[in-house]
Structure formats: C-alpha cells, structure tokens
Amino acid sequence: MQQPPHVLIVDDNRTNLKLTQVLLEAEGFAVRTAGDAESALRTLQEYTPALILMDVQMPGMDGLELTRHLRADPAYVHVPIIALTAYAMKGDAEQALAAGCTAYVSKPVDTRTLPDLLRNHLRLASGQTAAEDPRERLESTVEEAREEFIREGREESRRLLHQLENGGAGEAGEAVQSIAHRWAGLGATLGLPEISREAQSLEETLRSQPSAPASAVRDAAGRLAGLFAEASDPSGATLLWRRLLGKRLGLVGFPETGIGALEAAAGPGLIEIRPLDVRSPAEVDPGVADALVVYLSGSAAEAAWIDPQVLRGSRIPVLLAGPPPLLLRYAGSALLGARGFLMEPWTPEELLARVFVALSPAAAPPPIVKAATASRASRVSNDRPLVVIADDDPVTARLVRGVLEKFHLECEIATDGASALGLIRGRRPALAVLDVNMPGLDGYSVLAAIKRDPVHARTAIVMLTGRGEDTDKMRGFGFGADDYIVKPFSPVEVAARVTRLLPLQ
C-alpha cells in the first residue's frame, strides 16, 4: 500500500491550520502543523515533509523569511513550498517566488482545487481517500470554525472599536492592519463574504495610507463590529429586520386588532403598515406596497385573491392568511400562485418573517414545466420529483413520506444531519424536509450549508420541527428556509407547503 504524502502546514492562525489540516487529511495526506516559524524549525529537526504549505504573514519570522532560510539548507532545496496569503496584492506573487516558494495561493483557499494542486507538485497519483467519510468531518469542522471565528471576531471588534473611540487610532494602526488581514481571509473561507470584503477594504486603506484619517478607520471598525454582531445573532433576526427596513406592507381584509398587533411588532421606522381596500392585486401599484398580505374569510368578493393565474401575474408578492380549513380548501389552486400562506394561530413576528421570505426573489412561484424538460438533477427515473426527508424519528419520517408519495413525489429518508447533507449533495433533490434536532449536524446547520453552496442553494428547504418559538422560525428563515412547519402538523398542510414549492407539471 502506498504511503500518504506528508505535508507540513505553517500558519499562525489556528482556525486556518485546523481547516486546512482536515481538508488535506480527508484527501489522503498525512499532515503536521506549526503555529509559527520557530515551531516549524523545531518540527523539521525530526520530521521531513514532502511539501510545505507556508503562510506568508506571521509574527516574528514571516513565511518568506522562513522560506529563504529553508532554501539555504540542501535538505530543502527541492521540497515544494506553497505560499498562502489572505488575498493577492500587487507584487505579492513575485515576492513569494523570489523568496524561493514553488507556487502562490490566495486565500480563501479553493477546497476543490488545493489537493490536486499539491498532488501536481508532488507528482502523486490522485484518488486517495481517508478511512472514514471525510466530508462529514470536514463539514462539522467548518461549522465549528465558523462559530469560533464569529465569537472571537465579535469580541475582538468590540475591543478594537473601544480603543479607536478612545483616541488610540495611531497606536493601533499596525495591529488593526494585521487583524483586518486575518479577517479578510477567514471571512471568505468560512462563508462570510461581507466581513471579508469590509476587512480587505480596511487593510488596503491602511496599507496604502498608513496615516489614514482616524474617523475612517473607526467607521470601518464599526461596520465590522456590526457584521460580526449580525453573524452571531442565533435567531437570524438581525438580518431579517434589516431587510425589512423601510418596506411597505399592504394589508387586505385584516381586522383592526390584527393591524394594531402588527404595527406594535414592527415598531417605529421598520416597516410601514398600510391597510388597503382592494379586491385584486391589479388594483395595487408597486409604489404603494412592496408586499401584500390578504386575510381570507371565504366571501365571494375574494375571488381574485384565490385565482392562481391572477396571483402568478401579480407585480407584488402576495401572501394569503386565514383559518386552516379555509386555506387548505385552496391547497391545490390559490396557494400554488401565492408567495406563501399563514395559518391561524400566528404571531405578528411570524407574519413579518414570512414577508421577509416572500420578498426574496427565490420565493417566486415555481415555473410550470413539461415533464420532458424538467431538470434531471431533481428527478428520478420515473420522472417524479425527488424529496429528501431528514428526521431521526422513523415514525415521523414514514408519515411524511406517505403523505408526499400520494402527490406522486419520490422520497428518500435520512436519519441524521450528515446523512441528509450527503443525500442532498449526491442526489440533488427538488426539495428537502428537515427536522432541527438530529444527531450530529442539526437541521439549521444542514440548511445553512446548503444555502451557502452555490451548486445546491436553489434546493427548496422546508423545516419540519417541534421548535415553534418565533426565534426558531426567524432563525430558519434567516438561514434561507423556504418554509417552516411546526409539529404536531397537519398532513394536508405539509402537502400544501411542499407542493407549492415544486415546479408544476
């Protein structure tokens, strides 16, 4: 059996070390790590790697200086040394190559290409795998690293902002640049692009203008502190409320008590509540409302609001609200044209969360497609849309499968989060139904991982869980859920919410 290639990773950031180590071990490499140049030199006294991954910016002896030192030793003249840095600045590649590096890689590291890049330099055959399923371990590690990065970033950004606000901008300049450099790389790697972009902008400002105005540095630090606070909000409410800011919500057919409760929940300045006396979405100009919520009572005057063609043609997103028996009566028609529906009892917070989802472009009613042109990625051989059901309770999973199979849907069941993630990525279903409390990765983690993945982000996700607090729902919607159902559930409601999100035949 061929021995795995040995790689030494030198990086002063322990999160980077952990992520890269897990990635490479999952690809069949044997990995050792060092947190600085001095530790690397001690390790190299009793360990000879086949390749070295070298972070460029480190305290003390930096990566380029360490590379020069190693190239002066005959034992390391031919060992590939790959330079890593947060992102490419003009001239960085030339400096790395001049120092003796074999190649230059900008962070965030592309996890799809890095292992092959190393294999190319090592001239090794591809296809090595780890004994355990590496994807599950990598996914879990990434989520842990992301949480740690957000927690530390929130604390560090607050301390930094406090220092800058108390006149320490000049003294903190070099430290701020170093912190921004680290955040720029890790933010992008861990799926936080806004933090990465803001940090990169701050570092570039400080690098090009060492005496940048203190006010500009403070403003940038304040924006970063806000982004970390938003990312650390476990409910997803910060993002939800921010996207609702300044929106106009038209209410049709609502009782006065319902309007008052919504106004109280929205608070001053968040979203403008506008009661409207109209009988069709065609009567509402987009300048009047950004979204409409229609309360149905079953009267003949509501004909336009339950016409799926009228709803699909509306220039404004329409949500339908009302008592469950009435809404479920329209489950096969009107609900397929609406951007969502809300069954009593509901809270104002849940209504606003569903408005947030309805305003997303992804919430548009699915297209009507012919079976012959439907995406193969979301269908099985008998041309039925595929649904993944993830729940560690076998009774619930079988019940949901039984309901959906009556609507000509093909179902596959996963009993834990990691299995669900693997099924979604491997089978590419049209939709997934996720429980929250599952062994290993919970439903929120699976949801977040799928919605951050550009290949699978369009997969419709319905959360089906016993966690029914408003904060739970907002967390689900904030992470990108397309719908949210609370247990105990009505099978008819499950069918209505799932089929609404699938392309019509």
Terminus-to-terminus CA distance in the chain, angstroms? 52
Predicted local distance difference test score (pLDDT) of residue 132: 45
Same domain, 379 and 471: yes
Numbers of helices and strands, H then E, in the chain: 20, 15
C-beta separation of 13 from 153 below 8 A: no
Report if residue 228 sits inside a domain. Answer: yes
Cβ contact 432:406 at 8 Å: no
Q: Would you say the C-alpha torsion 45, 50, 55, 61 has a positive or negative sign? A: positive
pLDDT bracket for residue 246 (50, 70, 90):
confident
If asked whether residues 401 and 343 sit together in one domain, one would say no
377 and 480 assigned to the same domain: yes
**Distance from C-alpha of 464 to C-alpha of 411, rounded to nearest angstrom:** 15
Residues 279 and 195 grouped into a single domain: no
What's the average model confidence in pLDDT over 475-490?
88
The answer to whether residues 468 and 442 touch, using CB atoms and an 8 Å cutoff, is: no
Whole-number Å distance between alpha carbons of 505 and 500: 12
Least confident of 281-290, 302-311, 329-338, 399-408: 329-338
Give the total residue count for the chain.
505
**What pLDDT score was predicted for residue 400?**
94
Q: Does residue 412 form part of some domain?
A: yes
- Indicate whether 318 belongs to any domain: yes
Residues 268 and 345 in one domain: yes
Distances (CA, A) of 137 to 24, 124, 140, 447, 455: 12, 24, 5, 17, 20
Are residues 258 and 276 both part of a single domain?
yes
Lowest mean pLDDT among 205-214, 293-302, 344-353: 205-214
**pLDDT category, 370, cuts 50, 70, 90?**
very low
Assess contact for 311 and 303: CB atoms under 8 A.
Answer: no
- End-of-domain residue from the set 186, 205, 232: 232
Q: Token pair of 314, please?
A: 């509306």
Residue 380 φ/ψ, nearest 5 degrees: -105, 180
- pLDDT value at position 390? 96
Query: The tokens of 30 are what?
Result: 């044997």
pLDDT above 90 as % of the chain:
22
* Alpha carbon 433 to chain centroid, angstroms: 17
- Give the CA radius of gyration of the chain: 27
Instruction: Count structural domains, the chain.
Output: 4
Question: Binning pLDDT at 50, 70 and 90, where does residue 481 land?
Answer: very high
**Residue environment code for 191-219, b if the CB has 16+ CB neighbours within 10 A, otherwise e:** bbeebbebbbebbebbeeeeebebeebbe
Same domain? 305 vs 402 = no
> Rounded distance, CA 157 to CA 225, Å?
5
Distance in angstroms (rounded) separating the CA atoms of residues 318 and 316 = 6
Residue 1, domain member (yes or no): no
Percentage of residues in the chain having pLDDT higher than 70: 82
pLDDT of residue 505: 46
Could you check whether the bond before residue 345 is cis, i.e. omega within 30 degrees of 0?
yes
**239 neighbors 478 (Cβ within 8 angstroms):** yes
Question: Does one domain contain both 104 and 166?
Answer: no
Instruction: Compute the C-alpha angle 185/24/448, nearest 5°.
Output: 55
Q: Are strands 340-343 and 386-390 parallel, antiparallel or unpaired?
A: unpaired
**Which of 105, 131, 157 is the endpoint of a domain?**
131
- Candidates 314, 371, 370; CA nearest to 339 is 314
Residue 69 has pLDDT above 60, yes or no: yes
What would the pLDDT profile of 393-422 be if each residue is shown by its tens digit? 999 999 999 999 998 999 999 999 889 998
Query: Which pLDDT belongs to residue 150?
Result: 87
SS3 186: helix
Q: Strand runs (DSSP E) across 207-279, as ranges?
A: 247-252, 271-276
pLDDT band for position 485 (cuts 50, 70, 90)? very high
| Residue 75 included in any domain | yes
Q: 131, 157, 287: which is closest to 222 by C-alpha?
A: 157
470 shares a domain with 453: yes
pTM: 0.52
| Residue 120: CB atoms within 10 Å | 13
Domain end point (choices 345, 363, 381): 363
Residue 70, domain member (yes or no): yes
Per DSSP (E only), the strands in 243-283 are 247-252, 271-276
pLDDT (0 to 100) of residue 164: 73
Residue with tokens 């834990």: 416
Give the mean pLDDT of 216-236: 73
Q: pLDDT value at position 361?
A: 64
Q: Are residues 335 and 426 in the same domain?
A: no
pLDDT band, very low/low/confident/very high, at 442 (cuts 50, 70, 90): confident
Q: Is 505 inside a domain boundary?
A: no
Taking only the tens place, the pLDDT of each residue in 161-182 is: 777 766 655 556 677 888 888 8
Per-residue pLDDT, 133: 47
Q: What is the largest CA-CA distance in the chain?
A: 89
418 within a domain of the structure (yes/no):
yes
Residue 273, SS3 per DSSP: strand
My answer on whether 227 and 266 are in the same domain is: no
Question: In this structure, are 26 and 127 located in the same domain?
Answer: yes
pLDDT in tens, 75-114: 888 889 999 876 556 567 778 888 888 888 877 777 777 8
Secondary structure class of 443 (helix, strand, coil): helix
Q: For position 204, what pLDDT does the model report?
A: 87
Full residue range of the structural domain in which residue 465 is found: 371-500
Which of the two residues, 53 and 104, has the higher pLDDT score? Answer: 53
Which CATH number do you get for residue 478?
3.40.50.2300
